[in-house]
Each structure stands twice: as C-alpha cells, then as structure tokens.
Structure 1
Amino acid sequence: MGLFDRWMESLDYEFQILKTCSRYQSPFSSCTKCLDSCEMNAIVLKDGKPIIQPNQCTECGDCIAECPVQAVEGFYPKRRIIEHVFIAEEKPPSIKEMLGYYQTGVTSVYFHNKELSEEWKRFLKEINSKLAQLNEEALMIQFELQKQEEKMTRREVFSFWKKGAATTVRQMAPAKWRFNHQNLELAHYFKEYQFKEIELDESKCTLCKACEMLCRKNCFHFSETELTISAKTCTGCMLCADICQEKAITITDNIQRASTRIHHLYQKKCSSCHAAFTSASHVEEECVRCKKMKQYGSFLG
C-alpha cells in the first residue's frame, strides 16, 4: 500500500445519514432499509429520522448498499477480488452490490469450503434468479484458484464502482473521504431493465403532484394532458406511496424490460358544482373538492 493510500485510510471519518434520506424529505416516509440491514442496531430513529450511533457502528457498509436513495455516507466495505472472481467470506454481500459487481465483470464466486452455509445457498439462489430475469448467465462457483489473491483497498473499490472517475483527491472533503454513493444505482448497470413496478389507481389519484415533487429519481412527470410514469430509475424508497394520501400508488419488486406508462388526463365538468376540473379517470364526474366535502360530511354525521 502506497503512502497516499495509507494517508487516505487514516483520515478521521464517521458514517452518517445525509439529508437526502426520504425520512428527512417527508414525515410520511416509512423507509427502514438502513435500520433493517444493521445487525448491530447502530441506527436508530430520533424524531422520526435515522441517525447512526458511532459507538455501536462497525462500519460494515451494509446500510450503504441497502439505502434506496444513497443517503448513507461512509467507506464501502473491502471485498476480495481475484480478476473476475469474488472471494466468498462468512457473510454474503447484498444482492444489489453483487449485481453491480457482476456487470463490471465479476462472474464467479470462490469458496474455501465445499460445504456452503445456508445463508450463502439462499443468496446464490436469489442472485441467480434475478440474473435469469435479466437474461444473464448464473454466477459460477469455484473451489480452486489459480491466481494470487489480492485485497481491494478502499481506493480500488471506489475506482471499481466508478471507472474513469476524476482523481480521488477531487472527491475529498475536509478530514473525510466521501464515497460516491450515486454509483450504487442498478440503473447505471442494467440500462434496459427496471427493478420496480409502479402502479397507479386512476380512480383514487387526485393529481396533487406530490409524487412528482418529492421523487428524487424523476419517475413521475405531469403535463396538461398526461401523467407519465417511468420506473426505470425507481429504487423502491416508497416515498411516493407513503405521501399519497389517497393510497393511489403501489410499488412492487418486478424485474422487467424498462418501459413508460402513460396515463391520459381528462377535462371534466363537476356534476355537483359545475366547475371545470381535470381527472385521471375517464368515469369521474365530481371534482376533488366536492368529493371531499361529501366524504367528510358523511363522516361527521
């Protein structure tokens, strides 16, 4: 390891949750991906927002991989790689992480022991199922290695995830190296596919546009005549579904060819107040205001 690498690894840093976290964007967010991934329970909610407790954090990096909006800052964990072979350790990486490695040429996993753990068996079954859906070959398993083993440094991991990046120095901040979180998005590696499906219940949608305003992946776009939904960049933060008061949006895991759904918007005249309004449903006859008034009036008695 060179002097520069030793200096970089000696920098004082702590993992932290950035303000791009969906729970910082809206109090309606229900995302708990970082909490669920932390085996040390180092991440807790304070006033509804996640914070990392440094005294309990082991800097394993699992939360970085699991965060759907890349809002966890810190060093990504080291992985042992020999050419195109991933060296299996006690615990498997995340599915998202391995899919990223796969697209950069890592197509085999080496095991020291032919008796695989149940956790690794489940992992291989799931990753190969997803690779099949992506029309890719399954990960190969190896029990022998021909080349000398080497361990990727933090600097090399950065380069691995972002080839052709500017110099590492330009990614520096005072007393801290900031990992390039944005390159953990699978949309960068599987450009023809989407990993989520976004469904809209047109009969419930009120065209409030909250989904468009808060979606950081730009999955929603409103025009005067159409609502366009593209799930290609969706990472499943669920914020659009959480903030929708009408529960008109549903997000599900579904690997498929990337596509765009167009929902036509209709110009209508309210049957109650006779005012003009726009609706996502061609059978809607009342504007949102009149429907709400009837709904709350019925509720109040």
Structure 2
Amino acid sequence: MIELCNRQKADAWFCMPHEADDEFVRQFARLVRDRLDPQLKVYVEYSNEVWNGIFPQHRWAGEQGQKLGFGEKPWEAAWRYTAFRSVQIFRIWEEEFGGLERLVRVLPSQAANPYVSEQILSFRDAYQHADVLAIAPYISMNIRAKGEKLSAEVVANWTVEQVLDHVEQQALPQAIRWIERQKEVADRYGLKLVAYEAGQHLVGVGEAVNNERLTRLLIAANRHPRMGEIYQKYFEAWERLGGDLLCHFSSVGRWSKWGSWGLLEYYDEDPRQSPKFLATLRWAKKLGQNVFLPE
C-alpha cells in the first residue's frame, strides 16, 4: 500500500486492526514514516466501522469498553472505546512522526445517526485529538425480502425508471440530509467532514439477495445514464455542504447479487459505458485531480 501511494502520489489511509497492541501500531507508524513519500499525508483510523454491529470489531470493542466501565450497553461501550483507543493510537503516530503536520486523525461514525457521532467525539474530549469526522453517506436503497416500504417482491416488478425515480426522489435526498446533519456535528466540534466510503447502495439484503429479477434490475439501474446524473447531484451536494475528502467505495468490482459497488465492472471495460464512472471522474477533474477522462 505504501508503494502504491508513492507511485500514485496519493495520500494514504491506514486502519489499525482492532486488536493491534501499541507495539504493532508503533512499528506500523515507523514503517510508514520511513517509506512513504514525505510529501504525502497519512489518514489514521482505528479499525473499520467499529460502530457497526454486524462486525466482530464492534462486539470486541463493546467488550473492552464494558471492562473499562464505559457503559452498560455494549453498543455505547463500543462507541466510547472507539474514541478511547483512537486517541491512544493517534498519540503513538504523533510521537513517531514528530508532530501533526503529515497526519489526519480520523474519528469514524454512522452517517445516518449524528447521535453516535456526538457520543464518539465528546467522550473524554476525543475530538480535541482528531482532525476529521468520517462517515459513509451512501445513496441507500436496501431491499429486504419483506418490508413495510420496500420489498423484493414489489421492487422486482418495477421498471428501471421506477427504481431511479425512487433513488432520485427518496434515497438521494436522504443521503444529503445525513451529510447536512453530520456537517453540523463536525462544525460544532471544529472538525472537517470526510467520507470514508460513498456512492450508490442499491442492493438486496437478507433473503432478497437471491431474487434474480431484483439483481438484474438493480444492475440495470447502475448502468443507466440517469445514475450518472444522480452521482453528479450527489457530488455537488457534498461540495456545496462543505464536505472535504470523499472516497468512493470501489473503483472496479464485479456487479452481482451482493451489490454493484465498482464504478467499473472489469479493468478492461470501456469506461465510456459507465455513467457513474464518468460522473465521478468529471468531478475529480473539476477539483483539480490528475485524472484521464475518456470522452
């Protein structure tokens, strides 16, 4: 990863494993200090989505937090342990780098829930030792086999236009509201707002992943020209609301029942056939990034 960042002249983002001890963190920081291009910055984060209850790192952090008396409820203990351990990790990196000039210290949270952000940032004044609040404000359309609002049985019979209408009229405004609320939290604590992941999130969940008709429909929506227009509105909203760095979740990845995460499906795909790829590169170029736009 260090070599890749050096070749691409791209800032690095490293997530320290949730069970890593101080010595591991220190040796990792030294390796990055010694080998990464000194012109590049380093984003440092404790694990990945520790707030997210589906991951083992959430359960582990909850257990550690409860042992330390950070809360009776395991999820609250996990949030607070995230703040506690993050600050410990930041201090080690600061010692090894001799200051803060090259470091961007990341406190992560759940995009849809500013309360979680408040809990993490405020615990023992963790925000005073951080630089950014990081969220993943996806354009979310999670479809379950059975649901009160969206169900696989209903959505699978929609047209592509109906799916995109829902995305544009419901999912996109929801993502923008998340950004607005989280920006208010970040501003209140004097931090920048960044997106550690972003993009569309059209996917069946649970038993709905096996609905082949639904999978084909969501893939078709991702290929549609309107998806590029939705991405453009999404990026414009992020910029207008004062968001800083935004990382799209995946550049290249096969689209399937598990989601259409990649901007492209294959490395040798004609990028001109992916509206969301073109929208992303247009925005990157507008911001001054050195990208090749195949138009």
User: TM-score, normalized by length of structure 1?
Assistant: 0.25
**The structure with more radius of gyration:** 1
Which one has a larger percent helix, Structure 1 or Structure 2?
2
